[in-house]
Amino acid sequence: MRQVQNEVRNNITRFHMIKRGDRVIIGVSGGADSTALLHILVQLGGILKAQYRVIHINHGIRGPEAEEDARFVESLCAGYRIPCRIVEVQAEEFAEKHRISVEEAGRVLRYSVFEEAAQAWEREADTEKIVKIAVAHNKEDNAETILMQLSRGSGLKGVAGMKPVRGRIIRPLLTVSRAEIESYLRKEEISWRTDSTNLHDDYTRNRIRHEILPRLVGEVNRGAIDNITRAGRLIGEADRYLMRQAERFLWDTLVEDRDSVGISTAELLRQESIIQSYMLRIMIGRVNRSMKNITAKHIEDIARLSEAETGKRLDLPYGMQAVRTYDMLWIGKKGFAGEAVSEEAGAGQEGFYRENFHFDVFDYGPDMKIPTGERIKWFDYDKIGDIMEIRPRRVGDYIMLESGGRKTVKALMADEKIPAAERNSIPLLTVGSDVLWVVGHRISAGYRIDSGTRRVLEVRYEGE
């Protein structure tokens, strides 16, 4: 009995789940897990000094049985003198409307109710301290999740299973088995409710719970559940490491516009394929918060797009699109590139004629004065290292900033309030999509003269 309480207390301490004086919403269905969670948190109340509120969700599926569950939870909370709120939702209706399973609909609705209640309590308390949401997932639940994600073809993040803490969500029972929980309740002489839908095999999780996991434990390895959850924890560690590596590579090369993000295809393809996939996931996350409908196949298709010809596009979930431009891969909401200039725009206009530019290369001396005029610019010649081009703007063009970051030419022109009608007529001096000079406006910080400069490229613009 005390072993389960100690395990929960250790989890709370180890993962910083609840601190003294915290406000905690406890999701209680009336089943064994949530009933035990409520009882244990009440027992630890003298130590935690936390404030509790209980929410019970009636999913609108089981009729009178669900109403009895609600009355049971209300009675339980009355005994503990904890405020209890019963919320009714329509999981089947929601599932049909959004074309998802009833199981998934129930999960979405539950967390939506919990989140709204947490935010309301924060406003009521007038505090910036977040309200926690305690849910009663146990060790078997975690193993079931790992197997479900594995069978669906999820990436490492999904196969890592549940986290003890995710934002405001806390799972104090995650390392406790179902058998330990039920034994604890019996010894404490506490009854619980049994959801009849958990006994059926109508839902994917129930089939894993009643058929697959018992056979793994009984016929393959008695320690299967512990081994699966341990593997999930190790996979989670690998996932976090790979994410950090991808972030390190990405932030040096990422170009962000108002409604899209881009990366040099050369930089992307230079990385190992698994790092590429993490970089692409990060990019998607910058455009759209939810990754739930992004599959491994989507990531593979985007990676292939980076090697495709210019102009190729790929539609993605959540109204997103990936686009391959001159030497960049962009991800954004559909139509994000619609306002951008085509590669041919401005061709043949007088300002883009080669004879309007005069180039000279000479050795640099520290006593030389760098010109400040709008029509003459100096660049560190040895930093350029590739063929330059004079042209109008293109999708994917960017300029290096003093901070070390990048800005798209589209965003630069908008920030400097250059009239839209004039933007296609402004010449750019470029190396690929890397812009050295937006003539008359800005030069790249990446090619400026510094203490290490040996040779200067002087560019003089003599057009109208």
The kind and range of the H/E element at 183 are helix 178-187
Report DSSP letters for 310-360, one per residue. Answer: TT-EEEEGGGEEEEE-SSEEEEEETTTTTTSPPTTTTTT-GGG-GGGEEEE
For the ranges 32-41, 67-76, 265-274, 348-357, which has the lowest average pLDDT?
A: 348-357
Bridge partner residues of 315 (DSSP): 321
- Predicted confidence at residue 172, as pLDDT, reads 97
Answer yes or no: is pLDDT of 183 > 90. yes
Residue 33 among known ligand-binding residues? yes
34 is in an annotated binding site: yes
For residues 32 and 177, give the distance between their C-alpha atoms in angstroms, rounded to a whole number: 11
- The pLDDT tens digits for 106-157 are 999 999 999 999 999 999 988 778 899 999 999 999 999 999 888 877 778 8
How far apart are alpha carbons 25 and 85 in whole angstroms?
A: 10
Task: Compute CA distances 431 → 90, 389, 397, 399, whole Å.
Answer: 58, 6, 10, 11
Residue 444, annotated ligand binder? no
Answer for the pair 408, 397: CB distance below 8 angstroms, yes or no.
yes
Rounded CA-CA distance 397/394 in Å is 6
> 0.85 cut: is pTM over it?
no
Parallel, antiparallel or unpaired: strands 428-431 and 455-461: unpaired
Residue 29 among known ligand-binding residues: yes
How confident is the model over 179-205, as a mean pLDDT? 80
Q: What is the pLDDT of residue 347?
A: 39
